[in-house]
Structure 1
Amino acid sequence: MQIVYTDGLSEEEFFESVQHIVNVVSMYATSGSGWIIEKVEKLEIRFAKFNPIRGSTYIALRTELSALKCLLNIRNFNDPNCFLYCFTAAYNLQGKGCPLTQPGDRYSEKTNPATYARSNPLTHQAVGDFPMPMPIDKISAFERCNEVKVNGFRYEKKSLYPFRISNPNSDFVVDLLLITDGERYHYVLITDLVNLVRKVQGRQIDARAKICRNCFHVCSNNETLQKHEKLCYQFETCQVLLPEPDSNSLAFKKFQAKTTLPLVVYFDLESIIVPVSSVEQNPQTLETRVLDKHIPSGYCYVAISHGSPNLEFFHLYRGEDCMQVFVKQTETLAKDIYEKKQKHRYFTGAVGQAKELATHCWICETSCSADNEKVLDHCPFSNQFLGWAHSKCNLQRRTQSFVPIIAHNLSGYDLHHVVKSLHHCNPNNKFSIIPQTDENYISFSFKVWIKDIVNKNQNVIPIYEELRFIDSLRFMQSSLDKLVQFLPADSFDILDNHFEYCDQNDVKLLHGKGFYPYSYMDTFRKFKLKKLPPK
């Protein structure tokens, strides 16, 4: 969306806006978003009357502000020059000109616009011709002409906050409070900002303290204030809203994120690297030269249940059709998981704790002494007793509807081979991809069709078991070789048990990366060799 401030939209401005939209769409599609713009359905142009914020004629202060003796509200009923009056009054109050008022003068004399008007020869008037009421976008030019810093503040809902903070380096600072009655705006001069912040916010601030106008942070002297402002002024002004006393605490509520997943699948695949013979590349072209072709040669996946030392599912396969077999086995895995979930849908195991002995909910860890508050919670996959919980907590702690399948560098390598073989699966299955680019996917969901059921309204509802492929490299930004080095030697129980009849010195080679001869294994025939050739 582009906003144009003008009395009329010219043809040139219209086509510039259209070209801006085209450029944004082009950059979005080519910067790796993964989305493709098919068409622009409509182009909408809206016209609205713009009423900019401009300080104008006099508006009375609110009751809570009028009692504060740190504001000067000049009563300009007949002209919109409140901005200029505040500038002149600030110049005088900071001792830069002739005194216009005396401490004993009445408040009506101090707020009389004639005291600060051009007709008074003692006043210091602003340099430059600026429209009145003063628009906010013209204040910067006013500052440059008059070597002044003009800061703007608002007061709403009994809260004071800045809306415009100036950066020019000047020792003449004008702090203005912008008030409104709903239709008009009016500037009020802040004569003592520290006192105003102390009274509005109810803070104990020393009268000699220095305050940051951008965030109202209090400093003891000018040196610490300058160090603070150097960092603070890098950020835009904002309003700080503190919570109410009865809602100023945070409590953890997403209990479903607290529990571990009942089942996780890990997989990896290997490929043979076949050299590709091609003609020499022309250095004048930008074509990519293909050196090798990666052909999947085998895969392995293991499914581990939380709290169990044994494998729930395991499959290892090698062959030229390994990816077709992988897709079929993935469907079988999903169906086996579904059947196991249905088998333990209702708890049939041993209760680990008597109901009357449970005094706290195992999920939220708060008291649940009454027996009618407690319900039994169990794992629908392993049929394991988890504990006694509040009924509400038990409903909130929903087990993940999907089973994660995790591979390292899945997005950059493994998933490319998987996606190419999906046409071998059941056509009733569903897929969904979260892309990062056209060739790089963040995650991939594989919903395996299990069966169709008919509900009471005679509608056919398909039942799916979702397997979600996740890249562990997005959570652990390091190679497998480095990650494995952090593991102790006794952390490879599954691997060691699988090769328990092999020489343990050879098995230890499998505890790391870099020993497999990728460049040598370029055909499936070499898998039949009993040993590798000499170096």
Structure 2
Amino acid sequence: MTPLALMIGGCEGIIEKMNTNGSGWVIVRVNCIDLNIAVGQRLRFYSGHASNFELPPLLKAKKAVINPPSTGSDCFLYACLAVLHHGDENLRKNPQRLSTYKDWLNDINLSGISLPVGLNQLNRIELLNPRLCFVVFSWSSSNGVSVLRQPRVEVACSRKVVLLLLLNKSANKDEEDKHWCGIVSLDRLLNSKSGLYHRKWCERCLSSFVTDQKLSEHRDQCYRSNEFAVKERVPTEKRSVLSFQNYFKTIEAPFAIYADIEAFNSPLGPHTREVMHQKVEEMEVSDNEQVCSTRSSSSSSHVQARPDEGMVTGKTVFISEHLPAAGGFLLVAREGMKGPPLKDQGHVKLDSSSNPLECMETFLHELERVAREVYDWNRRHSYQTAEADTTASQIFSESSNCHYCDRQFTDTNDKHYDHDHLTGKFKGAACSRCNKLAQLRRRFLPIFFHNLRNYDMHLLFSTALGNMKNWKLSVIPQTSERYMSLRIDFPIAEITLPKGKKKTIFFTLQFLDSFQFLNAGLDKLIRNLPLQDRKFTQQMKSCFPKLTNETLSIKGVFPYDFVKSPANLAVTELPSREEFFNSLTKTACSEESYAHARKAWKQIEAKKFARLHACLPAA
């Protein structure tokens, strides 16, 4: 690795380390860079004289390089002859025989050139051979191909270009231990199966092209000046402005899921505390005082700056770990859609278990089951025809611009009747391009958690998410352990294409954080919503008939520190007010809040604490 690459890698490592330390900082700008450059001349003295040289297996497999025979110091001569006469049938059959080259030994004039030939002698060799010029590359298994020497453009434009490879004979990279080889196919040498397959390469600037014609057009420009000819594509005047085009993201999804996860607040044991301590040391957590809930990569942990108990690391105290206990979700359908409702629509689905892994696996499997039902519903009922509407028809006929991009309709920019495929109602006149872009996403289901990135996401990743078969995960990271969004794609169907090929259809689950759209707690949000608009909250009365509007409208208190294990859910009475103490904020439960909790306990007719605990994700 070159010193410049090491320096750049070091800078990138510092930036990445800063972005992943959990502080939320991001790199805004680089104010200055002190760069010291020294002109290196070592490469020009490289010379090749190795005999009995074997090509590396990776390079040999490409079949792009000829390793000619030599007597030790004349490998440069035989490498050049191998390139110049590569088309000879006898050479192709016997490239390793010295006798194959005997008729061509005078094709290259090396008068006065000391052997072995070094890079610093190539200019003189070009003077002795007016029809030849030499381009020299190096190769390593780690860094690939790099350019060592390019001829001047006035020399290269009118001569036969000979491509040579100067290789290290051994791993110690001793500059006196080199070997010349001939490159007979630069395309095979540079191409790979990972995306640059069948590309055509320019030997001067190493730009690649799809066709020989494009390469030929490029070479005409590349050999006209000493500057490399890299063509800059400038957008046309019509496309010179970057505008929003993902109109499909503006179409409301047919269904959405609102979910929540509750957890046991299990105290940390001595062994777990030691493991957490080691992880914090490895991550080099800063000494800033933290009064928050943080999670490690293997478990979710409640931490607080309280030196009287727990394991202290700097000013961070590990007290307990959060283990998933219950997960609930509500499937909500878009209003006004035509078609029968789904059986899970409008009903809270709740899964609980004393085993955290089993709890989350059941929760995720239920989400996948509902997603498959949504996919089947969309296939049957999301292709509604446009409703006949005189007013809409008049608006459509009078429209002269697309209601998406505002481009004027012309003979080449057709007008289309854009309607809602779920309700059949007219939306506006759209051009053909925007009408295709604004398609309903029928294989997409958004799932909203409030404060997903700070809490629920950690519970998902630390338990069952990795056990889901055929789930492909992708995230939008904010730090190494904090993700703004999670996307899951899983196969849902398979179709047969016209030529008999099979194509797998994937469905997308998009986990989103509603806190990023509604930056407030649930208590404040529910108070801002009028009682008559709390439709889904009112549906809880079907499960708990005695619940009053007053109880549903107030955010109650919950003894999170009391729920340490499944055994706590079996108690038959509401815990005392002292058990409602919040160790995170170090605040006690007020008598008014405790009275509200007692009222809720009676109205839901709880015989065990587990019933009150089950109300949390439902609410």
When normalised by structure 2's length, the TM-score is 0.44
Q: TM-score if structure 1 supplies the norm length?
A: 0.50
Which structure dedicates a bigger proportion of its chain to helix?
Answer: 2
